[in-house]
Amino acid sequence: MKKWLIPVIVIAVIVYGIYSWAVGFNNTAVEYEANAKTAWSNVESAYQRRNDLIGNLVKTVQGAADFEKETLTQVIQARSKATSTTINANDLSPEKMAQFQQAQAGLSGALSKLLLVVERYPDLKANKNFLELQSQLEGTENRINVARDRFNEKVNIYDIHTTKFPGKLLAGMFGFKEMARYKANPGSENAPDVNFDFNKKKE
């Protein structure tokens, strides 16, 4: 074997090793990113389910005599804002995530107020359709929490892969950016506990 072949072979092996590493990093990042985007779609789907239920709830409440129009208006406006505030899965930036969370939090606050006002309407509390929607809303809130947690888990896996050295060196070259997580709303730890079950006796 000619002496000049040895360094050529060594260089070829090194180049192939770097190439294989880069390809492996890219493919894994693509997979993790796709998983995170799918998880975000599930979050949006869960929120859309809630928006639909709230729309039906509003229609039911509108049929109640002398129900507070101001409270209903607040829910309708908050629902409209929450429905129109969406995020492209390819642009999950912290700013847009904050806007989405703010819109959903506004709807949650308006809904909580509506449910408290319903306490003063015995006929409405006993309405079969209202009770069914109320029960479905409870289940949807649980699904939202699960979907958000799973989204954060997928984002965490993706972010670790793309920001951990030495992968971080390739992430910028391949266009992989850090994804925003879903954070707890400021003050949510002090939010009032709204009891959806009006059939329970108060202590």
Per residue in 68-120, pLDDT (tens digit) is: 888 889 999 999 999 998 888 888 888 888 899 999 999 999 999 998 888 88
Looking at every residue in the chain, the average pLDDT score rounds to 85
Q: Are 61 and 124 in contact (CB under 8 A)?
A: yes
What's the pTM value of the predicted model, to 2 decimals?
A: 0.80
pLDDT bracket for residue 186 (50, 70, 90): low
pLDDT bracket for residue 64 (50, 70, 90): confident
Angle at the Cα of 145 from the Cα atoms of 141 and 148, rounded to 5 degrees: 135
Q: Residue 48, exposed/middle/buried by CB under 10 A (0-12, 13-18, 19+)?
A: middle
Q: Where are the domains of the chain?
A: 5-180
Tokens 């192939």 locate to: 16
What is the C-alpha to C-alpha distance for residues 89 and 41, in angstroms, rounded to an integer?
7
pLDDT tens digits for range 114-131: 988 888 888 888 888 889
CATH class of 5-180: mainly alpha
Strand intervals (E) in the chain: none
What is the C-alpha to C-alpha distance for residues 91 and 71, in angstroms, rounded to an integer?
34
Tokens 């039906």 locate to: 56
pLDDT tens digits for range 152-171: 999 999 999 999 888 888 99
- So what's the pLDDT on residue 50? 94
Angle at the Cα of 143 from the Cα atoms of 137 and 149, rounded to 5 degrees: 140
Q: Are 54 and 137 in contact (CB under 8 A)?
A: yes
Q: Are 109 and 117 in contact (CB under 8 A)?
A: no
